[in-house]
Amino acid sequence: MNLSSLTEVYKIELLNHVVPFWEKHSIDRKNGGFWNCLDRDGSKYDTKKYMWLNGRQTWMFSKLYNSVEQRPEWLEIARLGATFLREKAVRADSRVYFSMTEDGKPVHLQRKIFSECFWIMALAEYSRASGDLSAMNEAKIMLENVWDWSTDLSKVGRPSFDGEVPSQSLAIPMILLNLIEEVAGDDKETYRVEAESCINRMLLHVHPETKTVYELVTPDGDPIDSLEGRLLNPGHAIEAGWFLQHWAQYLKRDDLSKTAVDMVRWSYDRGWDQEFGGIFYFLDSKGYSPSLLEWDMKLWWPHCEALYAHLLNYSITGDEADKAAFLQVHEYAFSKFSDPYHGEWFGYLNRRGEVTHRFKGGPYKGCFHVPRALWLVWKKLEELG
């Protein structure tokens, strides 16, 4: 397949089939912010709002305004999200709620830092779209808080117990590395020290001797032989690979670029289901049955991340294997997840590739992975000509 023939496919999927779904169904113009729990046809089945997803959607519409076309309606949607996030979602101690009622009353607060991370992404990109410099200032102040909390999760209420094995999670340095890229924009040198710290922490999870990217390792980077320590998340490792690749290109480090390419390739090779196709959600590094019951499901977001990661690899390596992997994921994703009748993508399939959950939006699926991947792939295909 000629890659250039796909450029229009991704543009049309993004602008005609995915973005209009969220424009039509998710915008709360009365209270601000976005409804997230949307059925296949866009009807609401729950009115709670999830701040992970409100932050991500605010970022997405701001990014579309900044990078695709300065449509006033996109900026207005971003403004509705940013205003809700700034006025409703933040506690006095700077923590950001996980879920809220549609009019902004708190429902749940996680003992994690990810609601804050997506709040930061949202305000940083909205600031660039709107020219509101105070939003960027707020994002940078919150980033300082998150950086502090990330090294001691007891500061966000996470308990620790005597029997725990000391460990570190890939999720934290990878999201912080991406977050720094989003906040810094063209001024990456300002955050050079912090980015290098994230990179060094991420590399502890990469083990070339077994071609494995572990989600959880000891603080020294050693594997942990337990259910949790052996659990692999191929989609997460693939996403971490392209986060790292962006910085490798900026830093002009060929060694780091090769590691980022390998992270994507190893995780994809291990994660691809040779029998039914698609990327497994979880695996055990030693081949045991993962304890999570959904381990063999096929979720939308790992495939979205793999689309861009493989194409990014190909743009750097020129290796036909990276191109073939991109095309393999493309064929699977567009045939299994994309909904030609109501727009957007289904999120959850069983191992055979059959839809298990018909909704388009839920507590963890919103306007983010699909449109972000479509936008990134579309622009990369344009670059490749």
Angle between helices 300-317 and 320-336 in degrees, nearest 10: 160
Is residue 291, in this structure, part of any structural domain at all?
yes
Q: What is the CATH number of the domain that holds 143?
A: 1.50.10.10
What pLDDT is recorded for position 285? 98
What pLDDT is recorded for position 146? 98
- The domain in which residue 138 lies consists of 3-155+166-384
Q: List average pLDDT for each run of 10 residues in the chain, which is 385 residues long.
A: 92 98 98 98 98 98 98 98 98 98 98 98 98 98 98 95 96 98 96 98 98 98 98 98 98 98 98 98 98 98 98 98 98 98 98 98 98 98 95
Is residue 161, in this structure, part of any structural domain at all?
no
Angle between helices 234-251 and 254-271 in degrees, nearest 10: 160
What pLDDT is recorded for position 262? 98
Handedness of CA 328, 293, 112, 132 (dihedral sign): positive
Contact of 297 with 350, CB cutoff 8 Å = yes
Helix (H, G, I), strand (E, B) or coil at 272: strand
As for how many domains the chain has, the answer is: 1
Is residue 240, in this structure, part of any structural domain at all?
yes
What pLDDT is recorded for position 223? 98
CA distance 97 to 123: 16
Backbone angles phi, psi at 258, to 5 degrees: -65, -40
What pLDDT is recorded for position 2? 85
What pLDDT is recorded for position 313? 98
What pLDDT is recorded for position 1? 72
Is residue 160, in this structure, part of any structural domain at all?
no
- Listing DSSP states for 128-158 in one string gives HHH--HHHHHHHHHHHHHHHHHHT-GGGGT-
CA distance 260 to 237: 10
Both tokens assigned to 299? 């979720």
